[in-house]
């Protein structure tokens, strides 16, 4: 594939079969291979270009939003390419890698305390709204409440999965945060074949899963924690609740045994799909979304399979009595 612009390289990610012990075929949609490292490139691009089309986002403007990290990375990358200033509010739980990535694109990052309720005035969403109100010529994609978030996925990932499976897909599994991915892709697939089953993955500690008594959880990006028009409940057939223990526990299996170094939400999705296997028929074709890469979470220690082995060479007697080290002269030039 050859593109004139990085933005044109968003999407068209591979679909790769997983060798889970199942008679049904299970494919992973490798969304971490998008230029910004997640499927959020698709929805962010759609929301930003829709705002440009409507004249809400004008040249010289500032894009401000709240994000669990990946939407922020996507907005920062797209904003840089299109020449906008970008400010992203994240919560403390956001991995340092994602935070540093947003900054690497030249965007400003504001870290807000972790909160259980999206309406908390100290939380990242409220801070972003306030900042947007007080910043002239600013646009807030507002991914948590803007229905074009889901439309972005309906227009891009949905048709790709349908085409890549040649219309044979029977199940789609994805983690739900804003609900944009599961709703958009689910809607597209169900329009093609109403029998396709759409399965959302939620944290077992989310607002929805605990009937309004949310508890903290470590998995980033997922959690049905608020009522939003982005989530299209009509297309969701089933919701699987996953604990931190099960979702994060799956990460080591995926990386060290299957070669997929994926992020925590993908661990939760893989665990949910694995626990669903007994419900699948041999003719079924399940697609599960791997939303981002484990490289964005390495510092969290989720993948520490074994200690790094330090080479220790113990010599009875030094092999060489004296070693002369010749340092290059200061003015030595290294030509790359």
Ligand X SMILES: Cc1ncc(COP(=O)(O)O)c(C=O)c1O
- The residues that are catalytic are 40, 265
Nearest distance in Å: CB 106, ligand X: 21
Residue 178 interacting with ligand X (CB under 6 A): yes
Question: Given the rule CB under 6 A, which of 169-177, 208-216, 241-249, 275-283 is the region that contacts ligand X?
Answer: 169-177
Q: Which is nearer to ligand X, 11 or 179 (CB)?
A: 179
- From residue 266 to residue 305, what is the string marking binding to ligand X with x (rule CB under 6 A)? -------------------------xx-------------
Residues with Cβ < 8 Å from 140, sequence gap 6 or more?
A: 63, 64, 65, 128, 129, 132
Q: How far is CA 260 from the centre of its chain?
A: 14
The closest alpha carbon to 68, from 15, 27, 128, belongs to 128
Report in angstroms how near the CB of residue 40 gets to ligand X at its nearest.
6
**Per CB under 6 A, 95 contacts ligand X:** no
Binders in 19-38 for ligand X, by CB under 6 A = 38
Report the alpha-carbon distance of residue 57 to residue 44 in Å, rounded: 13
Which is closer to ligand X, CB of 79 or CB of 291? 291
Token look-up 């484990």 returns 294
Rounded to whole angstroms, the Cα distance separating 273 from 30 reads 15
Q: Is 65 in the site for ligand X (CB under 6 A)?
A: no
Q: What share of residues in the chain are helix, strand, coil (percent, to 5)? A: 35, 15, 45
For ligand X, the closer of residues 71 and 205 by Cβ is 71
- To ligand X, the closest distance from the beta carbon of 282 in angstroms equals 29
Kindly state the number of chain residues that form the binding site for ligand X, as judged by CB under 6 A: 19
Among 99, 222, 248, 250, binds ligand X (CB under 6 A): 222
Could you give the strand order of the β-sheet that contains 138-139, starting from the edge strand earlier in sequence? 108-112, 85-91, 62-66, 138-139
* Closest residue to ligand X: CB criterion: 221
CB closer to ligand X out of 176 and 250: 176
198 binds ligand X (CB under 6 A): no
Applying CB under 6 A, does 263 fall inside the site for ligand X?
Answer: yes
Burial 1-36 (b: 16+ CB within 10 A, else e): eeeeeebeebbebeeeebebebebbbbbbbbbebbb
N- to C-terminal Cα separation, the chain = 28
Q: Which of 90, 129, 169, 175 binds ligand X (CB under 6 A)?
A: 175
- At 233, is the secondary structure helix, strand, or coil? helix
CB-nearer residue toward ligand X: 61 or 63: 63
Of 68, 95, 206, 246, the one binding ligand X (CB under 6 A) is 68
Contact range with ligand X by CB under 6 A, out of 132-140, 176-184, 276-284, 321-329 = 176-184
Backbone angles phi, psi at 17, to 5 degrees: -70, 140
Identified binder of ligand X from the candidate list 35, 72, 180, 247, rule CB under 6 A:
180
C-beta of residue 169 within 8 angstroms of C-beta of residue 285:
yes
Residues contacting 214, CB < 8 A, separation 6+ = 116, 117, 205, 206, 207, 223, 225
Q: Which is nearer to ligand X, 154 or 284 (by Cβ)?
A: 154
Pick from 62, 70, 95, 165 the residue near ligand X by CB under 6 A.
Answer: 70
Site for ligand X in 36-55 (CB under 6 A): 38, 40
Residue 61 vs 290, nearer CB to ligand X: 290
As to burial, measured by CB atoms within 10 angstroms (0-12 exposed, 13-18 middle, 19+ buried), residue 288 is: buried
- C-alpha–C-alpha distance, residues 101 and 103, integer Å: 5
Of 29, 42, 71, 208, the one binding ligand X (CB under 6 A) is 71
Residue ranges in contact with ligand X by CB under 6 A: 38, 40, 68, 70-71, 175-182, 221-222, 263, 265, 291-292
């Amino acid at each position: 594939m050859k593109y004139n612009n990085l933005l044109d390289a968003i999407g068209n990610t591979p679909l790769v079969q997983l060798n889970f012990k199942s008679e049904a075929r299970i494919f992973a949609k490798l969304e971490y291979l998008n230029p910004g490292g997640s499927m959020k490139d698709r929805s962010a691009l759609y929301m930003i270009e829709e705002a440009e089309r409507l004249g809400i986002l004008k040249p010289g403007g500032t894009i401000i939003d709240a994000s669990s990290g990946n939407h922020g990375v996507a907005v920062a990358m797209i904003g840089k390419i299109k020449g906008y200033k970008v400010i992203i509010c994240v919560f403390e739980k956001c991995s340092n890698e994602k935070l540093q990535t947003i900054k690497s694109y030249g965007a400003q990052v504001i870290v807000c305390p972790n909160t259980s309720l999206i309406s908390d005035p100290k939380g990242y969403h409220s801070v972003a709204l306030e900042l947007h109100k007080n910043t002239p010529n600013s646009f807030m994609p507002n991914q948590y409440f803007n229905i074009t978030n889901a439309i972005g996925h309906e227009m891009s990932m949905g048709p790709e999965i349908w085409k890549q499976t040649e219309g044979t897909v029977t199940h789609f599994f994805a983690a739900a945060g804003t609900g944009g991915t599961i709703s958009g892709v689910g809607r597209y697939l169900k329009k093609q074949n109403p029998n396709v089953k759409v399965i959302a993955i939620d944290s077992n500690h989310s607002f929805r899963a605990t009937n309004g008594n949310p508890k903290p959880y470590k998995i980033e990006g997922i959690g049905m924690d608020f009522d939003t028009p982005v989530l299209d409940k009509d297309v969701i057939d089933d919701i699987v609740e996953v604990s931190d223990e099960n979702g994060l526990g799956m990460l080591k299996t995926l990386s060290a045994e299957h070669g997929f170094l994926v992020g925590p939400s993908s661990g939760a999705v893989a665990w949910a799909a694995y626990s669903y296997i007994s419900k699948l028929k041999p003719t079924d074709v399940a697609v599960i979304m791997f939303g981002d890469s484990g490289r964005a979470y390495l510092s969290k220690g989720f993948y520490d399979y074994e200690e790094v082995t330090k080479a220790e060479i113990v010599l009875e007697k030094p092999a060489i009595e004296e070693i002369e080290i010749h340092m290059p002269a200061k003015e030595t030039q290294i030509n790359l």
